[in-house]
Structure formats: C-alpha cells, structure tokens
Amino acid sequence: MAELTPDAVVSKVKRGEKLDRADLSGILLANAVLEGASFRRCDMVGANLEGARLRNANLKSANLCEAFLSGADLRDANLDNADLEGANLQRALLTGANLSRANLEGANLQGANLAGARLTHAQLDLANLGGADCTGAVLTHADLGECYLGGVKMMKSELTNANLSDSNLEDADFTGAVLADAQLRSVKARGAKLVGAILTKVDLTKANLSGADLTNADLRNSTLTDARLEGANLTGAKVFGLIAKGLQITGIKADWLDNSPNADGSVRVVATQIAAVLTGQAPARLPDDRSANRRYFGRGDVLRNASLQFDEGATVEIESLFEQCTIALGRGTELIVGSDGVLSGCQITGAGNITINGKFFEKPEGKKSSGAAIVGAHQLVVTASGALVGAVQQPPELTRFAFEPGCQLRMRISTSDSERNSLETRNGGSRNGDNKSAKR
C-alpha cells in the first residue's frame, strides 16, 4: 500500500517537494500533473500513471514494475536504472528520455515515441516495440533479445553491440542505423529496411532477411551463415569479408556490390559475379589484384585517334576526353566511363562490361565509318548520370543491359542477325536468297 494518497502526492509535487524513496506502490495517479517531480528510488510497483504528465520527472532507480504508464508524457524524464519490467508504456511519449540501464523486460512499448531517447545497456528482452518510433535513439549494448520490433522506426539509431537475437524485425525501418558488432542471430526481418545501415561484424546467422532492403548497407566481416536473403535488395552493399556459408540468395536484387576492404568502392562486384561472391564460389578480388590490371585515364587528359586494346581481366576507368578512338575489350574487361569522362566519335568492340557514368557519343552523321559505336559488349550499364548516343550491336548471345532512371539515351540496338541481314541486303541479297529480316 502507498504511504501517501494521490492528492498528497500531487500537492507535494506542486510545492516542489521531493518524493524520493517514497512507497507509492499501487497508487492511482492517472492523468496527474507531475512535471519535473522527483521520484528517485520510489517504490511505484503496479502504480497507475496512465496519461500522467511526467515530463522532466526524475524517476532514477524507481521501481515501476507492472506500472501502467500508457499514454504518459515522459519526455526528457530521467529513468536511468529504473525497473520497468512488465510495465505498460503503450503510446507513451519518451522522446529524449534517459532509460540507460533501465529494465524493460517484457514491457509493452507498442506505438511509443522514443525518438532520441537514451537506452544504453537497457534490458528490453521480450519487450513489445511494435510500431514504436525510435528514430535517433541510442541503444548501444542494449538487450533486445526475442523482442517484437515489427514496423519499428529505428532510422539513424545507434545499436552498436546490441543484442537483437531471435527478435522480430518484420517491416522495421533501420535506415542509416548503426548496428556494428550487434547480435542478430535468427532474427525475423522479412521486408525490413536496412538502407545504408552499418552492419559490420554483425552475427546474422540463420537470419531471415527475405525481401529486406539492404541497399548500400555495410555488411563487411559480418556472418550470414544459413541466412535467407531471397528477394532482398543488396545494390551497393559492402560485403568484404562476409561469411555466408549456406546463404540462400534466390531472387536477390543487386546491380553491383562493393567488395573493397575500406568500403571505398574500389572493388566492384558486377551483377554476373554477385551470386558467386556471396556464396563463396568466387574469391573476393583484392584491390592489389585489380590495380595490377587497372588503367586510369584522368580528368583533363585528351586522347585523339588512338587505338587501344585491353586484355581480359583488366579494369579501365576513363575520366578524360577520348576523341575518334577505337577501344577493343577482352572478355570480361571492365570499362568504366567516369562521370567526367567523354567518349566522342569512338568505337568500342569486344565482350567487355561497359559502365557509362559520363557521356558516349558516336561519330556524327557523314563522318561515320561502317559498324555500330558499341559492338559485341557482354554487358552495358548506363547509370543515372550517364548519356549514350549511338548504335549498339549485340553479340549472338546478346548484351545484358541495365539503365538507371535519369540516364539519357539516343540508342539504336541491333542484334548480330539484323546486322548481318542488313549487310547482305546492301550486298545484293542473302546468299540463300532469303531476305526476311531475322525476328527473335
């Protein structure tokens, strides 16, 4: 039983008197105005504080086990080391609150607003944070094991070394969150948004990330053994040092991955190699391997009327102006036209992988020699900043194309069949007398 009546508590608070260490267990203070009150080390087990106004209140080390705090205003309150085990905090306002080392085991925080709250070393295992707003919250070293985090908003939150194992993160938004060294074993994170999240050295063993958005996420040195990534988006994800034995990747979406140790984009994994790299069937290429075969043409350089040939396995990056050049690419050679690169009146031949971030223009009408501007490419990607004006002739096995929204194209794509047919027509008909245009 409480040693004070609710009226006495409200009166004391009004007079600015402290209520530290008071026994207020089971007290009924629903909707009471208690802003700035001091309840340090109070026993408030099972207290009814529904809708209470506790902004800036000091509840440090208070015992609030099984307390009813639904809809309470606890903005900027100090709940450091408070015991809130089994408390009901549904829709409570906890923005800017200090919940460091607080015990929230099994607490109901559904729909609560914890934006910017401090929860370092907090105990949140078995808690329900469904739909809660934890944007920018600090949860380093917090224990969120077996938590319900469905639909939680954790954008830009700090969860370094946190434990989220066996939690449900379905449709949660962790965009830009920091989860370095966190434990996420067996999490159910279907459809979770982890865009740009830092997941370095994270244990994601047996995690279900089907349909999750991991665009630009940093997964370096994390463990994804027996994890599921079906239908997940990994474009731009940093995957150096990933341990992914038994990883299921059917239907994953990714235009490219970053396999550089420093996540600086210096080692790109192209779409065709992604499956092999993620499943460990292809060794990660180190920057040293790459630099040995790397050619770079820097900004401000101008190359005219040159014939260049790059062998298989080379990576060629052009930030310069190339005019009337012919470039022959070996099978699998990477040619990247940087955002400042311009290829004007050039021709590229061979089964290379071409990425255009800059500009490519074929020769103007009248100056054209025979043949398309790009012939036989294995892969042609034009990114959002890229522009391509010219004819592209595909090899018999066809070119793999990718275009990002924002790219500018004036392109004529042809197949080797149609090219051959037009040549035969120009030469007076086909050898077999069959003049039908080849249809695929």
Partner 1 sequence: MNDLKNPGATEKRTLVEEGTTFKGSLSSTCPILVKGTINGDLEAPSLTVAATGSVSGKVKAGELKSEGELSGEFDVDKIVLSGSVKDNTVIRAKALEVKLAVTGSKMQVVFGEVQLEIGDQPTREKAEPVKTDGNGKSVPPPPAET
Contacts to partner 1 by CB under 8 A = 249-255, 270-272, 274-275, 300, 302, 321, 340-342, 344, 358-359, 361-362, 364-365, 379, 381, 387-389, 394, 398-415, 418, 437-440
Cβ proximity to partner 1, 40 vs 359, nearer residue: 359
Helix (H, G, I), strand (E, B) or coil at 421: helix
Helix (H, G, I), strand (E, B) or coil at 375: strand
Q: How far apart are CA 288 and CA 398, in angstroms?
A: 32
Q: How far apart are CA 373 and CA 337, in angstroms?
A: 15
Helix (H, G, I), strand (E, B) or coil at 380: strand
Cβ proximity to partner 1, 70 vs 233, nearer residue: 233
- Smallest gap from Cβ 439 to partner 1, in A, equals 6
Cβ proximity to partner 1, 296 vs 401, nearer residue: 401
Cβ proximity to partner 1, 136 vs 345, nearer residue: 345
- Smallest gap from Cβ 20 to partner 1, in A, equals 56
Residues in CB range of 353: below 8 A, 6 or more apart: 270, 272, 332, 333, 334, 335, 377, 378, 379, 380, 381
Q: Answer whether 62's CB lies under 8 Å from 81's CB.
A: no
- Smallest gap from Cβ 328 to partner 1, in A, equals 23
Cβ proximity to partner 1, 294 vs 420, nearer residue: 420
Helix (H, G, I), strand (E, B) or coil at 416: helix
- Smallest gap from Cβ 410 to partner 1, in A, equals 6
Q: 400-403 and 408-414 as β-strands: parallel, antiparallel, unpaired?
A: unpaired
How many Cβ atoms sit within 10 Å of the Cβ of residue 15?
7
Residues in CB range of 291: below 8 A, 6 or more apart: none
Q: Which residues pair with 23 in a beta bridge?
A: 43
Tokens 């208690």 correspond to what residue? 34
- Smallest gap from Cβ 396 to partner 1, in A, equals 13
Looking at the chain, how many residues does it have?
A: 440
Cβ proximity to partner 1, 56 vs 416, nearer residue: 416
Q: Answer whether 145's CB lies under 8 Å from 129's CB.
A: no
- Smallest gap from Cβ 237 to partner 1, in A, equals 12
- Smallest gap from Cβ 403 to partner 1, in A, equals 5
Cβ proximity to partner 1, 312 vs 404, nearer residue: 404
